[in-house]
Amino acid sequence: MTKVPLGSGGEFDRVRAIAEALGAVMGPIGDDTAVIAEGEGTLVVSVDASVEGVHFRSDWLSLEEIGWRATASALSDLAAAAAVPVGVVAAIVVPRKTEQGALVDLMRGVGAATAQVGARILGGDLTSGKQWAVVITVFGRASRRMSRVGAAPGDGIWVTGTLGGARAALQAWTTSMEPEADARRAFAHPAPRIAAAQWLAQHDATAMMDLSDGLGGDAEHLAAASGVRMEIELELLPLHGSVPAAARRIDEAPALFAARAGEDYELLVTLPARFSSAAAFESANGIALTRIGTVAVGAGVRATLGGKAQSVQGFRHAV
């Protein structure tokens, strides 16, 4: 086993096992603090908590998938800021009497998501509790930090990738069905759009955020922060391939199904009216960039389907 400068004891034995499993993605450990080297740009930090029974179910996902998904969710916040990930800190609540191998499996997912964006795990914390909880803190640097503030009337409203896949998976699970493979992947293995966000920031994006609470809810947040009105044409939404069948099962229009979905972790971005480089974006990033509306004077979100106003309110946090 790799030599790790820690003392004896069950908790430290678990840390040593994690370090051995993760290899090079595990940064230097042994102290109670981690050091982030100075560098160019603004330091950006975010934290995200995933709790069993609230954000995931262990009978739906493997422990490795749970670790990936929790980490990707936090890293998606860095993408929204157009930040390059530097490091990850993971605080894990482990159910009592859980075998060490289960924790290592979960941390393999954390490590894989961290390695995929070129960052390292800088440390964390372990404690026991009634159920799994994964709290991920991420650190990044942004040369041009993006935020929800900056959208202006006349800007186009765009989204990356496709929408609704994660909701399609949830809709299947909650009705005792097995999700389509692509829908399951969308829920279990989201990809934080780090490179895409960098490209957009370099091509004059005016405001940006990630889609975690659903297009309707997140568009409302961006509109409020920028002091504008978001006018969205739902028929323009890029739908995940699993959406039409899932929408039919609950008798909902596919575009509404996708707009009301959450946890897509795509980017919602506003770009100047002159922007016309969607094809160049797709060539550079391997995913689509789709215009879905226009920023206008006013407040809130107006979503239409076939010219008729629709309610697309997103997820509302209980706390």
pLDDT in tens, 179-233: 999 999 999 999 999 999 999 999 999 999 999 989 989 999 999 999 999 999 9
Taking only the tens place, the pLDDT of each residue in 32-85 is: 677 787 888 999 999 999 999 988 999 999 999 999 999 999 999 999 999 999
| CATH architecture under which domain 156-310 falls | Alpha-Beta Complex (3.90)
**Environment class of residue 31 by beta-carbon count within 10 Å: exposed (0-12), middle (13-18) or buried (19+)?**
exposed
Residue 13 has a pLDDT of 58
Domains in the chain: boundaries: 10-142, 156-310
Per-residue confidence (pLDDT) for residue 140, from 0 to 100: 97
**pLDDT score recorded for residue 96:** 86
Q: Residues in the chain, how many?
A: 319
What pLDDT, on the 0 to 100 scale, is given for residue 8? 46
Predicted confidence (pLDDT) at residue 145 exceeds the cutoff of 50: yes
DSSP string, 268-297: EEEE-TT---HHHHHHHHSS-EEEEEEEES
**317: pLDDT strictly greater than 80:** no
Q: CA–CA separation, 123 vs 229, rounded Å?
A: 42
pLDDT tens sequence across 270-300: 999 999 999 999 999 999 999 999 999 999 9
Q: For a pLDDT cut of 90, what percent of the chain falls above it? A: 79
pLDDT for residue 37: 78
> What pLDDT band is residue 1 in, cutting at 50, 70 and 90?
very low
Q: What is the pLDDT of residue 6?
A: 44
Q: Could you please report the per-residue DSSP string of 198-245? A: HHHHHTT--EEEE-SS-HHHHHHHHHHHHT-EEEEEGGG--B-TTHHH
Distance CA 262, CA 256 (A): 12
- Structure pTM? 0.89
- Please tell me the CATH superfamily of domain 10-142, with its number: PurM-like, N-terminal domain (3.30.1330.10)
Per the CB < 8 A criterion, the answer to whether 302 and 230 are in contact is: yes
